[in-house]
Structure 1
Amino acid sequence: MYSEFIKNVFLKRVVLVLLTLVTMVSFSFISYTLIRSNLHVLQSKNDLQQLIKKDVFMGNDRTSSDQIDYILNEKNLNRSNKKAQKLFNYIDHNYDYSSSWLDQIDIPNGYRNIEIYTINSNFFKFYPLNVKKGRLFSKSDYIGNKKEIPVIVGAGLRKVKLGSTFKDLNQPVGKKETYKVIGILKENTRLPSVYMLDGSYMLNKTIFRPLTDKDKKHINADQLTRMYQDLLIYNTSKNKVSKLSKTIRKENLGNVKFYSIKENIKFFYLTYNSRALLYLVLSLVMLIIFIVLFLWNIWKSLSESRQEIAIRISLGLRKYHLYIITFLYQLLLTIFSFIPVTIYAVRNSYVLATDSFDDQTQIILSSPLPKIELISLILSFLILLVIGTFSSMLIIYKFNKSPLTLRMGSDS
């Protein structure tokens, strides 16, 4: 009874129904994107609490490519390396800091160009990552007395087992190193960024190694310049980090500005708020158009079918059945409108999970959709369903208040 009523009453105007679906699909895409983006921002701010609570300054590397070429030029390299070691010693002895830099290594089982972070002992104070197997680095791991350098690997490197070892060339140093896996990160572990709170770096195909005391004695210009970006300085003042910036420029080893985490987040919101507002306005416009088209179609369909509805009532249809039928119609349209955005979300997550995508942003699908994507889909679906249902129920209430008369024939 319900499906036949929907087909013969609500779906008579095919063009109007299709236009309604188009606006619903548009709303679903925009609202999904907006909700997902905001959830990522909230999660990133939560992940960055250790940085936000403390008076932490973050390095923003503004060294030009010409400067890098000059610093690392073969003619200047020996001098640059000596100056880099001196500058690093200055930072190490005069500042509380958290540092990291990236290299790429090849490891057994076909994993090539895997990013490896070299991190100092304060890194996990501000980025509290979790392991599902093994452990994080201990104080002794940063001393560096062991022949095998302990490493922590991402969950995406599935063929690399806990306790296994592998060798690779440490390119900046020019020596082969032996690594031993002491920990495996949880799936989809993220490294938040103050520059893009609505995104993050996925660590499923990433390796972490400690910056040991031995490493500190052989810091070179290449490593130092890659350490500048996101270098964290804490327990200090604005004047002291300004002094560090001047020292770096004076030594002709780059150009680094330091900003507090709160300043960086403010910079992010300057562009993010306007973008989010645009999405919000577009979603509201699509929602209003949908409601107008949807309610107009329901009212016109019911009004033009009054005689047919009166007959159905005489045959046993009850007025409360109209509420159920309208809700089912709204639910059907909402489900159909969310098929494209669901396909998009699943496909996008699948692409991120493949090796053809940038290793830095790998996502392992332990479920059909990662948590934030799934929550975003559900929330945007419920918003559309609830608003459509509430407004359509008002139309049915108004329609049921008007009397229905059953004409048995025409006057002669």
Structure 2
Amino acid sequence: MILLLFLANYLSFTTARSVISTFQGYQEIETLNQEGTFIANLDPDSKTENETINIDKTRKLYEYLDNHYTYALQVDGFVTSLENEHEMEVTFSYINEEAYKINQFSLSQGNHLTFNYQFNQETIPVLVGAGLATTYPVGSTIEITDPVTQQLVNLNVRGVLKENTHRSNFYAPNIKNYFNFSIFLPVNEEFIQRAGLDLHVNGLTDIALLDSTEDEAMNLKEHIQKNLGLELNFFNQQENFDYFEEYYVYSLKIICTIMFILLIIIVCLATWNNFTSIRLMKKDFTINLVVGLSYSKLRAIFYSYFGLLFSINLTLLIAITAFNRYGFWLRKESLYATYGIFGLLSMDWIALLIVLFIDLIIGVTIVELTLTKIKRIPISVGVLN
């Protein structure tokens, strides 16, 4: 009974949290879900020949982009060694002005980024994640070798991102990168020309064209394929949502079906167990009812029992979730490290409340069915014979 209940609770929790995360992702990406916006991704059937791609070609391609298109570019995950109190790996996130406007990141301290700096002639304004705020407060300077230009740069901390600032994936809105240990570096045309091949290629495979047309997107696709040998698809965000929903909803249906079957089994098993106990203990129930045990007190006893049972399961769920969240800190996976009560995020707590609500329905169903059965026991001396 306990094992089945825990399994059902875990499935309920996982499903609820996934749905909440997906809903959050839809809300965040909705700004891109409009006419004239096309998002690139690498065609899965594309056979890229790396020898056809070089830095000169990608520089020319970005010049072409700057002259003919308005685009949003953000590339996350370039890891660097930077001292901090948590000894976490630090990632660089490169973002251009259009992407910065779209994301509208909130700050806990300082000011927003500016993009009109001159590379190698002045310090570059940056934002840091909440986990780096103590080591690198607003106004401090970071001297470091930039991962994509491989040049020594001076970064000036202009602001601090709010805790758990994140970005949802265009193609799977339930997946998020968290920026508690990231440095946001503003990208302008000069920086792009000085950046390395990794940033150029990674940026192209996730670039978003703004205020464009389908013909213009297809022209860019052909231009990239002709000059770099990269075969990119350009879809609008609604097409990305539709593709995601195809497999996500199907998986969700399977999980929900399994969960529903488990809940039915739990209710049936618990009710059958209680009915069997009532039949075997009919004399005991009769004696207790005769000497003053009220149905309301009996109801309270049953609810206390199931309340304890559900509390144990919820405590286990919280412990497992907290351990998983803390595991990212132990493994130094900075893009997934988060802050929260016991390490849990708001969507974790909401999912736990949903599980609690489901448990309450189960408990009420079992207890009321059991009491209905007990009330049918005739309270008479004859039952004791």
How high is the TM-score relative to the length of structure 1?
Answer: 0.85
Identity over aligned pairs, percent: 21
Kept in 2, the 8 Å contact 1:151–1:181? The answer is: yes
Q: Which residue of 2 aligns with 1:234?
A: 210
Q: How far apart are the structure 2 equivalents of 1:243 and 1:408?
A: 88
Q: How far apart are the structure 1 equivalents of 2:42 and 2:358?
A: 43
- What pairs with 1:123-272 in structure 2 (closer than 5 Å)? 123-138=99-114, 140=116, 147-157=122-132, 158-218=134-194, 221-252=197-228, 254-272=230-248
Q: Per-residue displacement from partner, 1:281-316 (whole Å, max 9, x unpaired)? A: 110111011001111122222232222122212322
Q: Which residue of 1 aligns with 2:13?
A: 32
Q: 1:112 to 1:299 in 2, by over 3 A?
A: closer
State the shift of 1:217 in Å.
4.5
State the shift of 1:101 in Å.
2.8
Q: Which runs of 5+ in 1 are unaligned?
A: 1-19, 73-79
State the shift of 1:401 in Å.
4.0
Confirm whether residue 90 of structure 1 aligns to residue 61 of structure 2.
Answer: no
State the shift of 1:112 in Å.
7.0
State the shift of 1:406 in Å.
2.8
Q: How far apart are the structure 2 equivalents of 1:332 and 1:173?
A: 59
SS of the residue aligned with 1:230?
coil
State the shift of 1:218 in Å.
3.6
Q: Which residue of 2 aligns with 1:8?
A: none
Q: Which amino acid aligns with 1:123?
A: A
Kept in 1, the 8 Å contact 2:9–2:313? The answer is: yes
Q: Which runs of 5+ in 2 are unaligned?
A: none
Q: Per-residue displacement from partner, 1:204-238 (whole Å, max 9, x unpaired)? A: 11111111343244455443212112201021111
SS of the residue aligned with 2:228?
coil
Q: Per-residue displacement from partner, 1:136-188 (whole Å, max 9, x unpaired)? A: 213545x6696110000111224221111111123443321100111111111
Q: Which residue of 2 aligns with 1:43?
A: 24
SS of the residue aligned with 1:167?
strand
Q: Per-residue displacement from partner, 1:24-61 (whole Å, max 9, x unpaired)? A: 11101111111111111011111112112454211102
Confirm whether residue 276 of structure 1 aligns to residue 215 of structure 2.
Answer: no
Q: Which amino acid aligns with 2:28?
A: D
RMSD of aligned C-alpha atoms? 2.4
Kept in 2, the 8 Å contact 1:96–1:235? The answer is: yes
Q: How far apart are the structure 1 equivalents of 2:384 and 2:341?
A: 65
SS of the residue aligned with 1:363?
coil
Matched pairs, number: 382
Q: How far apart are the structure 2 equivalents of 1:341 and 1:167?
A: 43
State the shift of 1:84 in Å.
2.0
Q: Which residue of 2 aligns with 1:380?
A: 355
Confirm whether residue 294 of structure 1 aligns to residue 270 of structure 2.
Answer: yes
Kept in 1, the 8 Å contact 2:96–2:186? The answer is: yes
Bigger shift: residues 198-207 or 46-55:
46-55
Kept in 2, the 8 Å contact 1:130–1:185? The answer is: yes
Bigger shift: residues 249-258 or 215-224:
215-224
SS of the residue aligned with 1:359?
coil
Q: 1:308 to 1:193 in 2, by over 3 A?
A: same
Q: Per-residue displacement from partner, 1:226-284 (whole Å, max 9, x unpaired)? A: 21122010211111111101001111252222111111111111111111111101101
The match for 2:339 among 348, 364, 370 is 364
